[in-house]
Amino acid sequence: MSIRKATSTDKNEWVKMRSQLWPDSSHLHPEQIDNYFDNCSNDIVEALLIENQKAQVVGFIELNIRNFAEGSTEFKIPYVEGWFVRNEFRGHGFGKGLMLAAEQWAQDKGFGEIASDTEIDNHTSIAMHNHLGYTEVERVVCFLKKLS
């Protein structure tokens, strides 16, 4: 298993994985990834990919620096925006490897905390976060109303 920064040659595989994680917004993924490579993404500061021993990309983690995260009093905080391992490779340490690499990235940047979130019914992700030492700090239900 190896972890590396995403490159433009990874775009197609990365789009496929993002579409598995966020199928409702799959039409946006190519542009969002292009924005990352053009250094104009609002959501992704760093993207790491993990490969198996056959050099197949089997997962990714996307990181951002946010101005706020629930439970933190820090002015800026590294945030896991997306964390995904292909179904057939789950349970083999790839997800843990990605999260540990994200934590190291944050520490290397001088941060003392890292935050993440998941959907309230994603029990697998909640269990993984707990297993890796993350503390649940809040549960919210978010609302939006279009005005006119």
Mean pLDDT of all residues in the chain? 95
Specify the pLDDT at position 64.
97
Structural domains of the chain ordered from first start: 2-131 (3.40.630.30)
Specify the pLDDT at position 4.
97
Specify the pLDDT at position 83.
97
Residues 54, 94 contacting (CB under 8 angstroms): no
Determine the average pLDDT of the residues in 12-37. Answer: 96
* pLDDT over 90 at 12, yes or no: yes
Specify the pLDDT at position 3.
98
Specify the pLDDT at position 93.
96
The H-or-E segment that residue 5 falls in is strand 2-5
Joined together, the tokens standing for residue 49 give: 């990919």
Q: What is the DSSP letter of 71?
A: T
* pLDDT over 90 at 148, yes or no: no
Specify the pLDDT at position 142.
81
* pLDDT over 90 at 143, yes or no: no
Tokens 């005005």 sit on residue: 147
Distance from chain centroid for Cα 13: 15
Which pLDDT band holds residue 109 (cuts at 50, 70, 90)?
very high
Specify the pLDDT at position 140.
83
pTM: 0.92
Calculate what percentage of the chain has a pLDDT beyond 90.
91
Joined together, the tokens standing for residue 140 give: 């919210």
